[in-house]
Amino acid sequence: MLQILSPEGKVVGNKSMPEVSDEKLQELMRKMVYTRVWDQRAISLNRQGRLGFYAPVAGQEATMCGSQSALGKEDFILPSYRDIPQMVWHGFPLHKAFLYSKGHYQGGQIPEDVNVLMPQIIIAAQITQAMGVAMGFKLNNEKRVAITYIGDGGTSQGDFYEGLNFAGVYKVPAIFFVQNNQYAISTPFSKQTAAESIAAKAQAVGIKGVRIDGMDVLSVYNTVKEARERALAGEGPTLIEALTFRYGPHTMAGDDPTRYRQQEEMTEWEQKDPLIRFRSYLESKNLWSKEEEDKVIEQAKAEIAEAIKLADAAPKQKVTDLIDIMYEEKTPALQEQYNEYTQKEMK
């Protein structure tokens, strides 16, 4: 397992630090702190009934922020339902992320200059889609990559192997990033596969595979940066397995992690927390302080409040809106229903 920083925030053994500017190091920390604040607020909003579907991200900030920060704006992100932070840090407006969670159609309207797809709900479907997007880049001689995310449970789906196999054969510029957070809802990783690791599965399809410490943002950033460089050089895709942990439930839809996880396990992973680890490292380099972190927290709270206000101000969604969006031409039966709903909405 590749690790650069220990849980204590020290550079491991004889490892050398990747070439990362002080500004980039501070940016990584700001993104992780901001994401943790945002996650706490989103959970609170969900409990108040002001958000619909939401998948908590606390514990996985290093995998999300570290990987996105290693990309270029021209690169394409194909997320799963937990990967909203990567979308937002790639340019997707925060208020639209809240609208997505509320189930509003405007939450699915992506700005033209933001290279993301909407989160994939069908498990592992994003793997074959990312392969296709990357194939398009290759055929068009475009110097950019497609990155997609999946959990450890999703690697047991057929689409995972099919996408990787095709990507390997045609050496497409793709990065397949597995956030192994130890549980597929309540199924522990030990019951997910008999393989030594998920990264080892790369060998079967002839691509590069690497297993990293997903609580170490520098390992994540450096690995994705190298994978991107390999892809742009025509050396094919990379499968990255990042060992991480989600502190909260799988989603806010009734999952209770205390029913399948022991407190001892929680405590062990909390001691590896990505924010604590990276904070210690940056403070030792005089690149971070409590005052700086407090500024980020206050900024996050203010921007999140404004984004929520914008989301709440969106026009109430109507049935006719959905019909207009879905259909260019209406069948006679659909037109009849449309007229009926139009009359109801006018009352």
The question of whether 260 is a catalytic residue gets the answer yes
pTM: 0.95
Q: What is the pLDDT of residue 249?
A: 95
Question: Which segments of 48-124 does DSSP mark as H helices, in order?
Answer: 61-69, 84-89, 94-102
Query: CA angle, 325 as apex, 324 and 328 as ends, to 5°?
Result: 65
Task: Give me the catalytic one of 90, 104, 211, 246.
Answer: 246
Q: What is the pLDDT of residues 309-343, one digit of tens each?
A: 999 999 999 999 989 999 999 999 999 999 999 99
CATH homologous superfamily, domain 22-314 = Thiamin diphosphate (ThDP)-binding fold, Pyr/PP domains (3.40.50.970)
pLDDT at 14 over 80: no
Give the separation between CA 147 and CA 29, rounded to whole angstroms: 22
Tally of CB atoms within 10 A around 238: 26
pLDDT at 77 over 90: yes
Distance from CA of residue 346 to its chain's centroid? Answer: 40
Q: What is the pLDDT of residue 316?
A: 92
Q: Which residues contact 145 (CB under 8 A, 6 or more apart)?
A: 71, 75, 76, 134, 137, 173, 174, 175, 228, 231, 232
pLDDT confidence band for 346 (50 / 70 / 90): confident
Q: What is the pLDDT of residue 143?
A: 97
The question of whether 281 is a catalytic residue gets the answer no
Q: What is the pLDDT of residue 301?
A: 98
DSSP single-letter state for residue 191: G
Task: Give me the catalytic one of 144, 230, 250, 277.
Answer: 250
H or E stretch at 208: strand 208-213
- Phi/psi of residue 337, each to 5°? -65, -40
Mean per-residue pLDDT over the chain, rounded: 96
The domain segmentation of the chain, as residue ranges, is 22-314, 316-347
Task: Using the structure block, give the residue that is written with the tokens 């405007």.
Answer: 106
pLDDT at 15 over 80: no
